[in-house]
Structure 1
């Protein structure tokens, strides 16, 4: 994570994020934008491994930048950094393709820990954000008026599309285990685990660990209180 884009309109917060990144990863090259427009002007012109995007910007939302970052830097890690912990913003970020969602009111220690987790494959999600995502999708069927039996049938269909090994991998990934940890636990190579993860993502039409956690909960493979 040597090249980082920070999109943040509060100078003090941008400075704090820069300091946290240095503690998490050591030497980093920072590109800072204070608006969506400035961020878009940087895309494609600088190297980016990691993007930290605020939501409430003077000319829009950082969530709207996620697609552009994906387009220019397919392998970059995208984390929303914000004070908003409501379901609407969280779900918008996940659906847009963000890989993580960290709340700025987290302690510096927690922030550093979550960012470092990226290196081992752990999704950088604040604990309260994880709970909100899982609780929302756990109750989504009833909340949208879907009959329980129909909702269960959908879950069974999704589960049935996965092989027993794929279900095991999905559960472990949803619980935050890194690829290496999953490989060690299941007695597989990391390349084999990577193939299982790819196949699971394709079958469920998802692209991130956050979405994997959501789907595992919706399918009843994990509980909302872990």
Structure 2
């Protein structure tokens, strides 16, 4: 199997992991706390994006216009998660930063796909870099809040935040040279895509484990609520 075939195989595995995660999330849903229920909705977003990207790519020959929309919904979900469930107090800086991030992604989508028709070779995924950057800042703000007030009694929320921080930090490294990787012809790009897919798989497994551990800890959560 060549590198391109391995990339395609790993991409197919991504869909399988997401389907498994969504089914598991639905099965455990009544036993999950609010943060782990968020994971179910997030996995649903990831799976819908995968399927929609495949359909649009097969129908129109290119699916890069889906990417900024995915970034928009991903960022909106994480902003809601941190403000609603993780932050203990309101942080004006993160609120403004999140608003600016969403505004930038909307601007990029309108500019690249409504006013102009940017080709895949010309497209620069600044939306993903902004998406990752804002989520990283939210994650670091949560860590700072816990260090200054330190009353974190739930280690699972702390470890969940660390997993988010690690994933989106490494993801940013992969997406910074995106345009070079799209146009690179030596085959080096496949090593980057393979590494990125392994990172995604590790993050998906992490999310699934988070749901499973939480469901086991809260067997009567649904009744209690």
TM score, norm. by length of structure 1: 0.32
Say which structure is richer in helix: 2
Say which structure is richer in strand: 1
- Higher RCO structure (Cα 8 Å, ≥6 apart): 2
